[in-house]
């Protein structure tokens, strides 16, 4: 199954918007979500601090900051097709 990893933190309006988009897409496309709060790790805060939200699909970075819902949906559909074939 396709895995979406979502790096986020509290009080982040862009993160809240991205999460809403992810949950909307999940109604149509099956995938696993792993949500990671970067504030739980100094290393993650240093790596992603100014970029969040950051989204990976199956280990590949596909978006950060202002996340494009249509692009994200297309990437997830593409991964789903590849898993099926």
Q: What is the CATH number of domain 3-84?
A: 3.40.30.10
Q: Could you list the pLDDT tens digit for every one of the 85 residues in the chain?
A: 899 999 999 999 999 999 999 999 999 999 999 999 999 999 999 999 889 999 999 999 999 999 999 999 999 999 888 876 5
- Domain ranges for the chain: 3-84
Paired with 32 in beta bridges are 3
Contact 31, 3 (CB under 8 A): yes
Residue in the block written with tokens 């009080």:
11
């Amino acid at each position: 199954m396709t895995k979406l990893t979502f790096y986020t933190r509290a009080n982040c309006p862009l993160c809240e918007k991205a999460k809403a988009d992810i949950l909307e897409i999940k109604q149509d496309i099956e995938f696993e979500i792993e949500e990671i709060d970067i504030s739980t790790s100094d290393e993650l805060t240093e790596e992603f601090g100014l970029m969040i939200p950051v989204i990976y699909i199956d280990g590949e970075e596909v978006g950060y900051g202002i996340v494009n819902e249509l692009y994200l949906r297309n990437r997830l559909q593409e991964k789903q097709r590849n898993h099926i074939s």
